[in-house]
Amino acid sequence: MTRGPEIANRGFVPKRDGIADCGSRNADSRDPSDLCARSAWSDLPRDMDSLVYPLAPCALQVSPSAFPGADNSPTCCIRDNPRSAIRNPQCCFRPGAIFIATLWIILVLAGMVLALAQAMRVEAACSANYASVQKAMAVEQGAIQYVLACVDGLDGEAPTDANSPTDGLIIGNGMFWIIRPNFDNELQPDYGIVDEASKINISTADQEVLELLPRMTREDAAAIVDWRDSDEGLTSGGAESTFYMTMPDPYRCKNAPFETVEELLLVRGMLPEMLYGEDTNRNGMLDENENDGDESDPPDNADGVLDRGIYDLVTVYSSEGSSTGSSGSSSGSGAVDVNSASSDQLRQAFRNNISEGRIEEVVARTRTMRPFRNVFDFYFRVELTYDEFKLLANDVTANPRSSRGSSSRSSLRRGLININTAPRDVLICLPTIGDAEADAIIDRRASRTDDEGLAWVVQALPQENAVEIGSIVTSRSYQFSADIVSVSSDGRAFRRCRVVVDARESPPRVVFRRDLTGLGWPLDPQILTELRNGADMESVIDETITAREIR
Ligand SMILES: [Ca+2]
Ligand SMILES: [Ca+2]
Ligand SMILES: [Ca+2]
Ligand SMILES: [Ca+2]
């Protein structure tokens, strides 16, 4: 398909004798003397019967011979009948090609400008998003420092919501929340720093305790025990290297304590469903996709209840004291072991807590009746009064391993469960603790005072139950975790990470950090929407607090 006729059809030629006749010349020539319209604009007639555009250089025109059927007569359109160039499309080729070419160039340039503008728009959006991500990351770093400051110097106490608010805090150009699972209401978020001692330590817990965790079978618990114990001897129902080496991707059994909770996924039978349950985004709440069956990931039973995994109930970090025995402020370093202390040491320990007239009697009963299984056993068998025990409980220990001879040099005690903070799901995993005992513990600890330590347990439980759990509970916590959600002030970027900090020494240090941003935004999506629409951070925080109170 040719363009010649079309161009010629649009061509106009001036009705003027002085203008060169294109048809009489070689149209393919590039000789400047061949210009068809050498006359100046000023020479052109102004009446509308003639036209208007000067002729283009013939060199730009296509040879008429290129258009079969065209009239190649030299007088076709200029001298004899200029208007025929308009009426007869087959007449000689016309110089309006410049106009067309210009239009094309303008179109191309316009297209380039549009493409460039679009690219710039994308670049600007990317730059703004990148800046927002940097802000969110900076807020996250600030939040980690905030957590370290909150747990520093607590000397075993857990931070409270009152002295360490975590529900929407503004830092610079962003804000953050520290979320935690809400065991009482899975439709609402909960906020706060989690005390790791409120969980069951999978590196130290007995098989019987592990078996009571949700979804856990006897074989699963045995496999966990085999994974962490140092030998290759098979626990009944468990799995050692002989099993793991037969897997398609073989590896050896670790035979050492767990380093992270996620390491459980390497243990036989431990699937992500068991670890995280239906709460695949790990926000502790029942999200829409976690209650719609197989309509969307994850698969769930759509029963309106969040079937939790064990992730929020277990830990690998809880420990007290230090392996060197010089733990400074850590609990246990200054406590007297009633199973091994001399009479003078016992008198010294009891002096401030027991009346003068009772001291010798208590010392004598202690020496006669020891060893004790734990401090609760000491309380019941020595027949202390509750007031005496309340004052003594934090100053004495009863370590069965040192019932003879001096106290162990190491004061490190791993995996004790803080009975002051453990959730109900953890309490019912403790030996001899059923629903009734767990309720009794929760009721009594609600009214406990700070000076009671863990002494109040002897009032909440019968002797048998208290003595059974006495060796694995504590009233102190030194490791804390925080699930930090940070967002930039414009709502364009957010970050989420989980950190674990160890506060046995000051300043505390971060012992674990994992980025969870890939799990998505864990809070109400309306927060991001409002920030993106320009709402200020204070009003967004106020609205979320109000909405939660209304619910
Ligand atoms: Ca083993
Ligand atoms: Ca969830
Ligand atoms: Ca689902
Ligand atoms: Ca469910």
Domain positions in the chain are: 1-95, 136-192+478-550, 198-315, 334-410+431-471
Give the model's pLDDT for residue 329. 35
pTM of the entire predicted model:
0.77
Cα 223 to ligand 1 centre (Å): 9
Sign of the Cα torsion 369, 372, 376, 378 reads: positive
d(CA 130, CA 220): 45
Between CA 368 and CA 338 the distance in angstroms is: 11
Ligand 1 mean position, distance from CA 244 (Å): 11
Q: Which residue is associated with the tokens 């935004």?
A: 521
Query: What's the rounded mean pLDDT across residues 463-486?
Result: 95
Neighbours of ion ligand 2 (CB under 5 A): 279, 281, 283, 285, 287
Residue 279 alpha carbon to ligand 4 centre in Å: 9
Fold of 198-315: Ribonucleotide Reductase Protein R1; domain 1 (1.10.40)
Q: How much distance in Å is there from the Cα of 269 to the middle of ligand 2? A: 23
At residue 397, the pLDDT reads 87
pLDDT at 28: 52
pLDDT at 418: 95
Position 16 scores a pLDDT of: 47
Mean pLDDT, residues 513-533 taken together: 95
Q: What is the pLDDT of residues 359-373, one digit of tens each?
A: 999 999 999 998 999
Three-class SS of residue 221?
helix
- Residue 237 C-alpha to ligand 1 middle, in angstroms? 13
- Counting beta carbons within 10 angstroms of the beta carbon of residue 405, is it exposed (0 to 12), middle (13 to 18) or buried (19 or more)? exposed
CATH code of the region 136-192+478-550: 3.30.1300
Give the Cβ contact number of residue 155 at 10 Å.
14
For residue 436, pLDDT beyond 50: yes
Q: Which residues surround ligand 1, an ion (CB under 5 A)?
A: 226, 229, 255
Q: Quick one: pLDDT at residue 401? A: 57
Q: Which helix (H) or strand (E) holds 116?
A: helix 97-151
Encode pLDDT of 167-212 as tens digits.
999 999 999 999 999 988 888 889 999 999 999 999 999 999 999 9
